[in-house]
């Protein structure tokens, strides 16, 4: 084919593709219902985009030394924030994921079983994840508080249901208004 003809064919194809995409969006055919599973392809696109994006940005995050060995006060701060803001969606030892969390798509993972890399957790908690239910807590919390939550996440897999229950009872009977 002559070069000009090839270019013209490519342009026509691109215009047709764009028109088909627009027609699909405007038709309302795509089902946005959260209670319907994503197709395998959409799930792959979303998941891969998310994990690559977080991985790339978390490389810039420097983990403070104390996060590996947090003080009891830092752990307590992390725990209070976790119980108040995260357990609803992610559950905790002996605390099932709530009705809010169960209705989300993508589903929030249980975080009590294993801890992610601290730099990735920090980035996700601070910035949140678009188009999932995961909020960005950097809007309302400083880095010190977010690192305390990360330190708590690292400690949580070693906690039993009894440990967690005891912490809830201690904190909320000592100081019911936080
Ligand atoms: C309203 C529900 C909701 C709340 C509240 C919430 N999250 Fe999330 N979280 C999500 C969802 C949804 C995802 C993304 C799941 C996915 O993309 O598969 C997520 C993802 C995460 C991840 C990444 C997990 C992984 O395996 O990749 C971490 C870590 C996390 N949240 C921590 C927290 C912490 C800590 C808090 C509290 C400060 C919190 N979340 C509050 C819904 C929530």
Q: Quote the ligand 1 centre to 65 CA distance (angstroms).
A: 24
CATH class of 63-174: mainly alpha
* DSSP-assigned beta bridge partners for residue 115: none
CA separation (Å) from 35 to 42, 49, 105, 130? 15, 22, 7, 18
Q: Whose CA is nearest to atom 10 of ligand 1?
A: 134
Q: Of how many residues is the chain composed?
A: 178
Q: Is the CB of 115 under 6 A from ligand 1?
A: no
Q: Give the whole-angstrom CA distance, residue 80 versus residue 167.
A: 9
Residues 132-177 pLDDT 10s: 999 999 999 999 999 999 999 999 999 999 999 999 999 988 665 5
What is the rounded CA–CA span in Å between residue 96 and residue 106?
A: 17
The pLDDT assigned to 175 comes to: 62
- Report the separation in Å between the CA atom of 2 and the middle of ligand 1, taken as the mean of its atom positions: 54
CA 88 to ligand 1 centroid distance, Å: 10
Q: Are 113 and 159 in contact (CB under 8 A)?
A: no
35-91 pLDDT, tens digit each: 999 999 999 999 999 999 999 999 999 999 999 999 999 999 999 999 999 999 999
CA distance 59 to 137: 19
* pTM to 2 decimal places: 0.92
- CB 87 less than 6 A from any atom of ligand 1: no
Q: Which residue has the tokens 């810039």?
A: 60
């Amino acid at each position: 084919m002559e070069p000009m003809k090839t270019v013209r064919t490519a342009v026509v194809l691109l215009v047709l593709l764009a028109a088909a995409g627009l027609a699909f969006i405007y038709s309302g055919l795509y089902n946005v219902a959260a209670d319907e599973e994503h197709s395998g392809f959409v799930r792959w696109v979303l998941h891969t985009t998310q994990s690559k994006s977080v991985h790339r940005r978390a490389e810039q995050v420097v983990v403070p030394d104390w996060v590996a060995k947090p003080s009891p006060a830092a752990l307590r701060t992390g725990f209070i924030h976790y119980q108040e803001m995260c357990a609803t969606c992610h559950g905790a030892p002996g605390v099932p994921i709530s009705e809010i969390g169960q209705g989300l798509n993508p589903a929030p993972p249980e975080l009590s079983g294993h801890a992610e890399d601290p730099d990735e957790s920090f980035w996700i908690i601070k910035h949140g994840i678009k188009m999932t239910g995961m909020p960005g807590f950097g809007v309302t919390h400083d880095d010190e508080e977010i690192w305390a939550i990360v330190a708590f996440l690292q400690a949580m897999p070693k906690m039993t249901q009894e440990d967690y229950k005891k912490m809830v009872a201690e904190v909320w009977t000592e100081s019911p208004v936080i």
